[in-house]
């Protein structure tokens, strides 16, 4: 009896002791982490580091341009990190930054650590940072160009735009400044100034220049729209334009989209453009032949000629018609590759649809350019800010297409081009057709040049 009572007493003491220990744990103040000096400082970012705090599950990292953290960079505003370091990217060269961290458990957040000051390096050398797109792509067994759509005004030396471009991209396409309505001011009269600047930038920085685009129904100069000569004279004007532009850039531009968007969206017919009306259904082949002849005459035997179009992965009638044209151009031996624009959304096209489309080009032995990639997250205009759910969906979709592209046979790879750098500058925000003005986040960098999860998705797609 006595020993039974003693056993009970011992159990009660143990129980009480256990309870009070739990209480003590919960009440324990989470230690403040110590931030360390940064590592791998370059002109685009650095690696922030800090010490382990016991019981912590993660850390919240702030990066700011001011020591008092009044303006915190959007991508690094309490960014939750589970490691003891984080590679901070998307910064401007030669600029002062500060960082600090807090430790976090399920229930608590610690005080702020000490503040670490770091200045990014100048923009001369291109650092071999593995988080830079082209750095990672160039390490692949079969690399390809990572392209960016640009405007001449964005190419000023030392600006964040220029620094990111040279760090991360190996090819450029002019968003609109190398189209016919920009270059051709009258019959045989050309304004080369802006286009020359773009091409010179690419050539000077060892960045591939993709010419976009010689013939497009949405970029016909007014004088040609109004042209009152015969159809044969109209065709001669187009031939003259193609010949003069290809000659002017021979050896400086590696590839051209010869014809852009010649196929209609409904039923897979030829699009009813001024070129079809004036030159007949063989106009696509004629344009390719003129471009090829001009290049050879100028001594450029390696110019690559592309046909470029959109929405072929989901619109099968259109896809069939595009591939019929490609077959025709192949037979005439005037084409090298096909550009799939890929103005996609976070829902469409599916992986299988993209693969089927691209594999048809593989079967034809054509080079493949994913030529204008962007991924909308608000095509139904149903969100007013960039939600985490859409951020992750977009990341997954970027990863998916990069994976598909990277898995193509080496001979079919050319370039994967992103259609713009910063979200707030994308054409999608201004398109009346897409009709969700100002309200989408389709690209790899936010409006402050900070890398988004989509950028990480791109990198992961290369693994």
> Residues interacting with ligand GLA, by CB under 6 A?
175-176, 212, 260, 310, 341, 372, 427
CB-wise, 310 or 449, nearer to ligand GLA?
Answer: 310
**What's the distance, Cα to Cα, between the start and end of the chain in Å?**
70
CB-wise, 310 or 405, nearer to ligand GLA?
Answer: 310
Q: Which residue is nearest to ligand GLA (CB)?
A: 427
Cβ 440 to ligand GLA shortest distance, Å: 13
116, 314, 320, 342, 343 from 360: Cα distances, Å: 53, 14, 10, 16, 19
Give DSSP secondary structure letters for 390-454: HHHHHHHHHHHHHHHHHTS-GGGEEEEEES-SBGGG-GGGG-TTT--TT----SSB-TTS-B-HH
CB-wise, 88 or 178, nearer to ligand GLA?
Answer: 178
243, 365, 379 from 301: Cα distances, Å: 15, 19, 43
Cβ 428 to ligand GLA shortest distance, Å: 8
User: What is the C-alpha to C-alpha distance for residues 394 and 441, in angstroms, rounded to an integer?
Assistant: 9
Cβ 87 to ligand GLA shortest distance, Å: 31
| Residue 344 falls in which region: left (phi positive, over 0), alpha (psi -120 to 50) or beta | beta
280: tokens are 């007949």
CB-wise, 259 or 404, nearer to ligand GLA?
Answer: 259
Determine phi and psi for 165, rounding to 5 degrees: -60, -50
Cβ 163 to ligand GLA shortest distance, Å: 23
Cβ 135 to ligand GLA shortest distance, Å: 27
Give DSSP secondary structure letters for 227-262: --S-HHHHHHHHHHHHHHHHHHTTTT--EEEEEE--
Cβ 203 to ligand GLA shortest distance, Å: 21
The residue to which tokens 């402050």 are assigned: 448
Residue-wise burial string across 180-201, b where 16 or more C-beta atoms lie within 10 A, e elsewhere: bbbbbeeeeeeeeebbbebbeb
Q: Which long-range contacts (CB under 8 A, 24 or more apart) does 276-279 make?
A: 278/231, 278/234, 278/235, 279/231, 279/234, 279/235, 279/238
Evaluated on CA atoms 58, 458, 385, 77, the torsion sign reads positive
The number of residues making up the chain comes to: 463
Pairing mode, if any, of strands 35-39 and 79-81?
unpaired
Q: Annotated catalytic sites, by residue?
A: 372
Contact, 100 vs 116, CB < 8 A? yes
The two counts, helices (H) then strands (E), for the chain are: 13, 18
Cβ 433 to ligand GLA shortest distance, Å: 10
Half-sphere exposure of 364 (CA within 13 A, CB side): 24
Cβ 369 to ligand GLA shortest distance, Å: 12
Find the DSSP H helices in 85-192.
133-138, 160-168, 180-183
Cβ 138 to ligand GLA shortest distance, Å: 27
CB-wise, 144 or 419, nearer to ligand GLA?
Answer: 419
List strand residue ranges (DSSP E) for 310-393, in order. Answer: 337-340, 343-345, 367-376
């Amino acid at each position: 009896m006595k020993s039974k009572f003693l056993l009970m007493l011992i159990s009660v003491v143990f129980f009480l002791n256990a309870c009070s220990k739990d209480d003590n744990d919960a009440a324990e103040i989470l230690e403040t982490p110590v931030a360390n000096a940064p590592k791998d400082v370059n002109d685009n970012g650095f690696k922030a580091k800090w010490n382990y705090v016991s019981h912590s599950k993660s850390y919240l990292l702030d990066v700011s341009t001011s020591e008092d953290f009044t303006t915190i960079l959007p991508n690094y505003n309490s960014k939750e990190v589970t490691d003891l370091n984080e590679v901070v990217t998307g910064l401007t060269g030669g600029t002062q930054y500060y960082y600090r961290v807090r430790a976090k458990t399920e229930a608590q957040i610690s005080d702020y650590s000490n503040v670490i000051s770091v200045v990014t390096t100048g923009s001369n050398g291109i650092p071999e940072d593995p988080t830079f797109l082209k750095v990672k792509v160039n390490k692949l067994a079969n690399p390809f160009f990572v392209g960016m759509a640009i405007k001449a005004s964005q190419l000023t030396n030392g600006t964040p735009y220029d620094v990111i471009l040279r760090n991360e991209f190996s090819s450029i396409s002019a968003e609109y400044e190398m189209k016919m309505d920009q270059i051709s001011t009258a019959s045989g009269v050309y304004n080369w100034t802006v286009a020359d600047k773009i091409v010179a930038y690419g050539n000077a920085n060892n960045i591939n220049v993709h010419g976009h685009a010689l013939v497009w129904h949405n970029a016909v100069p007014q004088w040609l729209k109004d042209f009152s000569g015969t159809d044969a004279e109209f065709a001669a004007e187009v031939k003259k334009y193609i010949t003069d532009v290809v000659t002017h850039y021979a050896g400086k531009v590696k590839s051209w989209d010869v014809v852009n968007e010649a196929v209609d969206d409904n039923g897979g017919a030829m699009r009813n453009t001024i070129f079809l009306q004036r030159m007949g259904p063989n106009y696509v082949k004629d344009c390719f032949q003129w471009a090829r002849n001009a290049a050879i005459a100028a001594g450029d035997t390696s110019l690559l000629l592309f046909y470029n179009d959109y929405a072929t992965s989901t619109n099968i009638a259109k896809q069939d018609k595009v591939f019929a044209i490609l077959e025709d151009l192949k037979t005439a031996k005037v084409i090298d590759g096909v550009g799939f624009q890929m103005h996609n959304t976070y829902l469409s096209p599916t992986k299988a649809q993209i693969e089927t489309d691209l594999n048809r080009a593989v079967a034809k032995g054509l080079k493949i350019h994913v030529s204008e990639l962007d991924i909308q997250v608000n095509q139904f205009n149903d969100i007013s800010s960039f939600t985490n759910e859409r951020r992750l969906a977009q990341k997954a979709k970027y990863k998916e297409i990069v994976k598909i592209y990277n898995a193509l046979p080496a001979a079919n790879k050319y370039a994967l081009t992103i259609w713009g750098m910063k979200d707030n500058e994308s054409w999608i925000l201004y398109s009346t057709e897409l009709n969700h003005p100002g309200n989408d986040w389709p690209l790899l960098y936010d409006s402050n040049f900070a890398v988004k999860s989509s950028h990480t998705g791109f990198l992961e797609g290369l693994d």
